[in-house]
Structure 1
Amino acid sequence: MLIFKAFSALLSYPSVEMRQALPEIAEVVGSSALLEARERAGLLDLMDELGEGELLTIEERYVDLFDRGRALSLHVFEHLHGDGRDRGTAMVDLKALYAAAGFELSTSELPDYLPVVLEYLSQRNMAEARDMLADCAHILASIARSLIARQSRYAAVPQALLVIAGEKPVDAAGVKPVREQPEALDRDWVEQPAFAATPGGGSAM
């Protein structure tokens, strides 16, 4: 199912190759019977945005969204388990699922990376795809809500996935826009210091 391959490309780190493929991706999106008119329009708007301006600007926008905090992480199990031990177990199970279907990861990406999951679904039947998407619908809704709050057109992808899964997309009118400061975006990634400060305020080294 090419539509899932298209979604995978749209959610991956922007590249020259992805931008060159946008007309083909737009054709897949435009002809898919799985999408409602509203979701199709949102995806086409996203592709227009991805095709405009300098690639560096698009790359920076992507990093600011998806690499600065857990709310928008594209690693599915991070939303469920954080960095806990259960996440590792879940990824082993997911990798085994891929292997049982005859697929082996050929990239350095983790198996729970959403573009990887979508790439897998592009090779499976619709029943399995819908079941898998329905299982993580609450995560897709959370990502969509966070993207809508940041007024990002990337929200069109998880919204479309929710529709395909048979779930209701997030009501954008009920999401309050936010403008988070960089320190707020980074808060989830702050690690506790390995050494306590000395009484004089300096390092213990």
Structure 2
Amino acid sequence: MKEELAEILVVTSRFLDYPDQQFYQECSSLDTYLNTFITAEEMQKEMYQRLKPLFSLGLKDLQELYVETFDYKEKTGLYLTAQELGDSRRRGDALIRLQKLIADLGFEKVGIELTDYIPMLMELLAVAPENEEIRHLKRRLAYAIHRIFSQVSSSNPYFQIFDSLMTHVFEAPSSEEIARLLNEREEADLDELPYPMLYR
């Protein structure tokens, strides 16, 4: 993957993870953080403007915004197979196949999140050698991230992260692709549910 795109993936994947104290300290100087991970000066400036609103919030407010945005809403959940399949029993098989893909590429999942946790898969995309399976994973992530992006209000500071991803990294899915994938989803009984339930 082109170096600049990989750098954007690494930075935005960290900002889409739950903002704990360690993260808040690491990113306390946003300029320094971006200079560490992004090479191009123009992209540093752009990402600074996009991410700065998140740091107008204190840690507690940022954590509350994160939970409100991602944790309890099915349409903005940060889990790939949930975005693809909804409340389907087929998610189990999909997770197993995804775990096999990660292992076959020579990587292993770390942390407590499920295998299809989108920020983790973005990091994988940034470092894995490009092949047909990675290109397919990129298309899957493009669909999921586009779907989340369409549900996040433009007034939400996290909107800028998804806008950056869809502008620089991912190609928006076609209407035919969206229709096909929507047809494969199984909707839950409720519009908003406590899924996936994260214990913090």
TM-score w.r.t. length of structure 1 = 0.69
Letter in 2 for 1:139: A
2:12 maps to which residue? Answer: 7
Output the CA distance in 1 between the equivalents of 2:144 and 2:68.
20
Corresponding residue number in structure 2 for 1:80 = 84
Q: Verify the 8 A CA contact 2:80 2:118 in the aligned structure 1.
A: yes
Instruction: Provide structure 2 residue ranges, at least 5 long, that are not aligned to the other structure.
Output: 1-5, 174-189, 196-200
Q: Does structure 1 residue 31 correspond to structure 2 residue 39?
A: yes
* Cα displacement (A) at 1:16: 2.2
Query: Higher relative contact order by CA 8 Å / sep ≥ 6: 1 or 2?
Result: 2
The structural deviation recorded for 1:168 is 5.1
Q: Write the deviation string for residues 156-202 of structure 1: whole angstroms up to 9, x where unpaired.
A: 22322223445259xxxxxxxxxxxxxxxx743289xxxxxxxxxxx
CA contact (8 A) 2:75 2:148 kept: yes
Q: Would you say the 8 A contact 1:5–1:122 is kept in 2?
A: yes
Query: Which amino acid letter does the alignment assign opposite residue 157 of structure 2?
Result: R
Matched, 1:18 2:13: no
Shift in CA distance, 99/30, structure 1 to aligned 2, threshold 3 Å: closer
Match of 1:91 in 2: 95
Q: Distance in 1 between matches of 2:80 and 2:135?
A: 16
Match of 1:202 in 2: none
2:116 maps to which residue?
112
Amino acid across the alignment from 1:96: K
Structure 1: unaligned runs, 5 residues or longer: 170-185, 192-205
Q: TM-score, normalised by structure 2?
A: 0.71
Please tell me the residue identity of whatever aligns with 1:52. Answer: S
Amino acid at match of 2:24: R
**Residues 72, 143 of structure 1: 8 Å contact kept:** yes
CA distance in 2, matches of 1:156, 1:127: 29
State how many pairs are aligned.
170
Q: For 2:94, give the aligned amino acid.
A: A
Bigger CA radius of gyration:
1
Q: For residues 194 and 20 of structure 2, what CA distance do their matches in structure 1 show?
A: 29
Matched, 1:103 2:107: yes
C-alpha distance in 2 between matches for 1:188 and 1:102: 36
8 A Cα contact 1:3 1:32, kept in partner: no
- What's the Cα RMSD here? 3.1
Q: Give the secondary-structure state (helix, strand or coil) at the position aligned to 1:26.
A: helix
Residue 57 of structure 1 deviates from its aligned partner by 0.7
Deviations 1:66-99 (A, max 9, x none): 0121111111111111121111111111110111
Aligned residue among 119, 133, 156 for 1:152 = 156
Judged with a 3 Å threshold, the aligned counterparts in structure 2 of structure 1 residues 83 and 127 are, in CA distance, closer, same or farther, namely same
Name the CA shift for 1:28/1:132 in 2 (closer, same or farther; >3 Å).
farther
